[in-house]
Amino acid sequence: MKYIFLFFLFGSVSSFAAEPVKLVVDINRDMLTQSMPVQCVFKQLDEKLQILQMPWKRGQIATKNGDADGFFIASHSPKRDEYAVFGEPIATIEWIYVTHVSNDLSPDNPEFYALQFGSIHGARRVEWLRGELKKYGTPQPINLLGSTDQTLNVLVKGELDVVLSNRASYIQTIESNPKLKDMFHVFTVRKVPGGVYFGKRFLQKNPDFLERYNNAAKKCNL
């Protein structure tokens, strides 16, 4: 698989000798749109930024192993806190349920939670969904796929009943597959703060970075 790298130079001449901060963005997302608030912060910081695009779960593993310095745009997760630190939020992430138009059940119907759910590998919302299904007394395996595009295609085939996605990924998928436009019902579930997770290995080597980043991020919440 080929990964995409984007390199931004925001530093002064004296800072160019430093290594760029390597951050991962999901390969299934619009990299330029996703990176806009992050670029804003790094411009404030006068730091070099290198963006690596790869599968979302793999990017988190790379951060844990020290092969990347962080990943974005992410929501807060206790599991991620074990190996990374959540920076000042710079975006809002909207989680949505997506169902096929032939499905008349909505989230306010208890029977909805007995349906077959799917989402993508490595997404924080999967942890939340497991809690919801347990709360409604219907704990069950959640089908996890590699991308939003894959989950929606499986939904169309009738192999899933509900996809838990985020709205930005859903919109991007629909725009790239116009034939899917009128095939789904969409229900907003939750809105959560989104930001950059920085690996603890990176922060140990750069102890003053997070404070500087958080101060700059307050000026770039888009």
pLDDT for position 33? 74
Model pLDDT, residue 14: 36
Helix (H) or strand (E) holding 34: helix 31-45
- The pLDDT, as a whole number, for residue 98 is 98
Q: How far is CA 199 from CA 33, 41, 69, 148, 205, in A?
A: 23, 17, 5, 25, 10
Q: For residue 29, what pLDDT is reported? A: 60
Specify the CATH number of the domain 4-91+194-217: 3.40.190.10
Distance from C-alpha of 190 to C-alpha of 158, rounded to nearest angstrom: 25
CATH topology assigned to domain 93-192: D-Maltodextrin-Binding Protein; domain 2 (3.40.190)
Per-residue pLDDT of the chain (222 residues; tens, 9 = 90+): 444 455 544 444 334 447 899 999 987 666 677 788 999 999 999 899 999 998 889 999 999 999 999 999 999 999 999 999 999 999 999 999 999 999 999 999 989 999 999 999 989 999 999 999 999 988 889 999 988 989 999 999 999 999 999 998 899 899 888 889 899 999 999 999 999 999 999 999 999 999 999 999 998 865
Q: What is the pLDDT of residue 27?
A: 78
**Residue 30: per-residue pLDDT:** 62
Task: Determine the Cα–Cα distance for residues 87 and 132; give it in Å rounded to an integer.
Answer: 26
Per-residue pLDDT of 197-206, as tens digits, reads 999 999 999 9
Q: What is the pLDDT of residue 2?
A: 44
Question: What integer pLDDT is reported at residue 28 of this predicted model?
Answer: 64
pTM of the model: 0.83
Domain ranges of the chain: 4-91+194-217, 93-192
pLDDT score at 135: 92
pLDDT at 220: 82
By CB atoms closer than 10 A (0-12, 13-18, 19+), residue 79 is exposed
Identical fold, 4-91+194-217 and 93-192: yes
**Residue 10 has what pLDDT?**
46
The answer to whether the CB of 143 falls within 8 A of the CB of 118 is yes
Asked if residues 6 and 50 have their Cβ atoms less than 8 Å apart, the reply is yes
Rounded to whole angstroms, the Cα distance separating 186 from 197 reads: 28
In angstroms, how far apart are the furthest CA atoms of the chain? 62
